[in-house]
Amino acid sequence: MGRMYTPGKGISKSAIPYRRTPASWVKATPEDVCEQICKLARKGTTPSQIGVLLRDAQGIPLVSSITGTKIARILRANGLAPEYPEDLYFLIKKAVNVRKHLEQFRKDHDAKYRLVLIESRIQRLVRYYKTSGQLPPSFK
C-alpha cells in the first residue's frame, strides 16, 4: 500500500508469527501476565509501552498468544483502559504541539501544511472510532 502523504511505496513491514500458541520457552501464566499488565497500567503506562516492557524485561514475546486477548482488551475488562485510543491521543497531542509552534512562527508554511495533514488523519480516525463504537457519537 502506498503512503498517504509521501510519494514512497515501501512494502517493508513486520509480521506476527502465524502460530497462535505461545512459544515453548515462555513460562509465564495468563493470570501472571494480566496482573503485570494491570500493575503497569496503574502506574500510567500506555498499552504499547506495556507491550514493549513485557517483551524486553519479562521475555513475553506476544501477550495475545499467552492470554488469548490483547493488552487494550485486558485493560478495558479491568477498568484501566485509557479514555481515548492511544493512536488518536498521540495525534491530537502532535497537532497541539504544531499549533503551539505556529503561534510563535506564523510564517512556517511547511508546519501549516503538516498541521492540515495531521488534522485530516485525526478526522479519519475519529470517524472510524465513532462507527466502531469506541468513541461516543458526540465526540468533537
Cell reading at 76: 478495558
pLDDT tops 70 at residue 24: yes
Do the beta carbons of residue 61 and residue 55 sit within 8 Å? yes
pLDDT band at 6 (very low <50, low <70, confident <90, very high): confident
pLDDT of residue 110: 93
pLDDT band at 5 (very low <50, low <70, confident <90, very high): confident
Average confidence score pLDDT of the chain: 88
